[in-house]
A and B are shown apart, each in its own frame.
Chain A
Amino acid sequence: MSQVEITAVEREVPGIFSGLVATTRRDLLLAWKRPGDVLNPLFFFAMVCTLFPLAVGPSAEQLEFSGPGVLWVAALLSTLLSLNSLFLSDYEDGSLDQLLVSPQPLPVLVLGKTLAHWLTSGLPLVFVSPILAVTYRMPMSVVGVMMLTLALGTISLSLLGGIGAALTVGLHRGTALLSLLILPLAMPVLLLGANAVALAANNDVYTTGIWALAAYAIGSLSLAPYATAAALRISSE
């Protein structure tokens, strides 16, 4: 490529928004081509939810009581499972380096990747959860609240998990380490989400929890991409 052409390429840097859309679309396409990566965490979620009634017994009031907590813990674990691969394949095939040297701001590209992660892990969970909630004898009015808390909570989980995934990318035995790093950060989300659902099940005021979850999601939406970008730069030095 001659010198003239290089400058021509440099001049045509697309806007920030198109960078975001392109990264998201690429990751969604990758997920579409390999549906196993999306489905496996969902099966895992369903199976963890099946384990609890088998372990603690099938009595109706016990299931009703433990339902919100079990579903939330299962959702958290299943999100954790899919986080490991957030940057891994990009790291292995070198496209991560392309992201790092691209003229687009890295936090925005990272946001695109996390957004795609949420669309392929968090959002499916939200739609699968009612089926499992019904087996836990959760009333329909509570199911709606649970879906809302899961939708808001998994946004934060994807974003926070992105920081952990970026810190551990390229490390041996990264999976166990990732859980160790992310679980303490995920605890407030679990606490707020599961308790909002439990309060709704008791016909209590649960809106505080929803607002707190939304605040948490907005907070991590605005701060986490920067931390993830910084962590990615450090990891790929």
Chain B
Amino acid sequence: MWKWFHKLASPPHFYRISAILSPWLLIPGLILIAYGVYAGLFLAPMDYQQGDAFRIIYVHVPAAYLSMMAYMIMASAGAIGLIWRIKLSHAVAAAAAPLGAAFTFLALCTGSIWGRPMWGTWWEWGDPRLTSELILLFLYFGYMALRSAIDDTTKADKASAVLALVGIVNVVIVHFSVEWWSSLHQGQTVFKKGTMSADMRIPLFAMLIGFTLLFGSMLLRRIRTEVLYRERRTKWVKEMILSPEGGA
């Protein structure tokens, strides 16, 4: 098990494995999303309170979940890179950041479109989830800005890993402090969870898994390019490019 793990952390080996793995994530992911979109938009019954507007959860919830998932991946990959000095794991962190920012942005946009008919406003400052999601987006921006500001890759990796770890503490604190704040100012907006009927819930699960698989395959693809760029001066990259297959 450990041997396998160590082997995976070597860039050439990872590059080969990920090429095989990527379509296995992408194709089931796209199928699940296609089913989820169809079932969510046409098969699921209307919500008795929110009408058709609730259907945006099929994009909103997976995006919001992945925005945090990507941050966790980014921060833990950074920590692994700092502690065990695995080069590949810094590449994972670098690849995860823009994806995470994109999903955060998607979650904010869909949330705001949802908020318009539900709360009668595009934006609600008193809601802890909205505010912490926005700060998460700023953290992603800061992380990417710090990375691009430092020319030396090794230094950029380490510095941004420290920032990501500090940020993780911050996200938690922001969430609770906004909760405290809003609980004194106004009743918190409660999403009535109740019991979702199965034909509403199953498309949501399909979307969640589909989005995760899609994210996984996009992440692999980004890590592959990142690894290729970082290892551009090494022998295996040169050999692969000069080989008859052209490094497919």
With a CB–CB cut-off of 8 A, which chain B residues contact A185? 166-167, 170
Min CB distance A159 to B, Å, is 11
Q: Which of B171-203 contact A (CB under 8 A)?
A: 173-174, 177-178, 180-181, 184
B141, CB-defined interface residue at 8 Å: yes
- Say yes or no for A216: interface residue by CB 8 A criterion: yes
- Size bracket of the A interface: 20 to 34
Does B150 touch A at the CB level, under 8 Å?
yes
The contact of B163 among A167, A171, A191, by CB within 8 Å, is A167
CB of B73, distance to nearest CB on chain A (Å): 19
Check A163 against B162 for contact (C-beta < 8 Å).
Answer: yes
Which residues on B sit within 8 Å (CB–CB) of A174?
Answer: 149
Are B181 and A227 touching (Cβ within 8 A)?
A: no
A183–B162 Cα gap in the complex (Å)? 16
- Nearest chain B residue, comparing its CB with the CB of A171: B149
Say whether chain B's binding surface is mostly helix, strand, loop, or mixed: helix
Whether, in the assembled complex, B138 has its beta carbon less than 8 Å from a beta carbon of chain A, the answer is: yes
**CB-based contact A163/B155 at 8 Å:** no
A235 touches B159 (CB 8 A): yes
A177 to chain B, nearest CB (A): 5
Closest Cβ of chain B: how far from A100's Cβ, in Å?
A: 15
The answer on a CB contact under 8 Å between B142 and A184 is yes
Selected from B167, B169, B184, the residue in CB contact (under 8 A) with A199 is: B184
Q: Report Cα–Cα, A192/B173, bound state, in Å.
A: 11
| CB–CB A183/B138 < 8 A | yes
Is the C-beta of B139 less than 8 angstroms from some C-beta in chain A?
yes
Interchain CA distance A168-B163 in the complex, whole Å: 11
Residues of A close to B19: CB separation below 8 A: none
A181–B146 Cα distance when bound, in Å, is: 8
Q: Are A177 and B146 in contact (CB under 8 A)?
A: yes
With CB as the reference atom, state the residue of chain B lying closest to A194: B181
Distance in angstroms between the alpha carbons of A231 and B158 in the assembled complex: 8
Q: Are A180 and B145 in contact (CB under 8 A)?
A: yes
Alpha-carbon gap, A12 to B178, bound state (A): 50
Taking a contact as CB atoms closer than 8 A, the residue among B149, B154, B159, B177 that contacts A188 in the complex is B177
- Contact with B141, one of A171, A173, A180 (Cβ below 8 angstroms): A180
- Point out the residues of chain A lying under 8 angstroms from B145, CB to CB: 177, 180-181
Residues of A within 8 A of B167 (CB): 184-185
Does B30 sit at the interface, judged by CB under 8 A? Answer: no
In the complex, whether A108 has a CB less than 8 A from a CB of chain B is no
Q: Is the beta-carbon distance between B142 and A212 smaller than 8 angstroms?
A: no
Contacts of A209 in B (CB 8 A): 180
Query: A231 and B159: CB pair below 8 A?
Result: yes
The CB with the most chain B CB atoms within 10 A, among A171, A183, A187, A231, is that of A187
Q: Does B106 contact A (CB under 8 A)?
A: no
Kindly state the separation between the CA atoms of A160 and B169 in the bound complex, as whole angstroms.
12
Task: Given contacts A177-B146, A230-B162, list 17 more A-B pairs with CB under 8 A.
Answer: A160-B166, A163-B166, A167-B146, A172-B149, A173-B149, A180-B145, A181-B142, A183-B138, A184-B167, A187-B135, A187-B174, A188-B177, A191-B174, A192-B181, A204-B184, A227-B165, A234-B155
The interface of chain A, by Cβ under 8 A from chain B, is 160, 163, 167-168, 171-174, 177, 180-181, 183-185, 187-188, 191-192, 195, 199, 204, 208-209, 212, 216, 223, 227, 230-231, 234-235, 237
**23 A-B residue pairings within 8 Å (CB atoms):** A160-B166, A167-B146, A171-B150, A174-B149, A180-B141, A180-B145, A181-B163, A184-B135, A184-B170, A185-B166, A187-B174, A188-B173, A188-B177, A191-B177, A199-B184, A212-B177, A212-B180, A227-B165, A231-B159, A234-B155, A234-B158, A235-B155, A237-B154
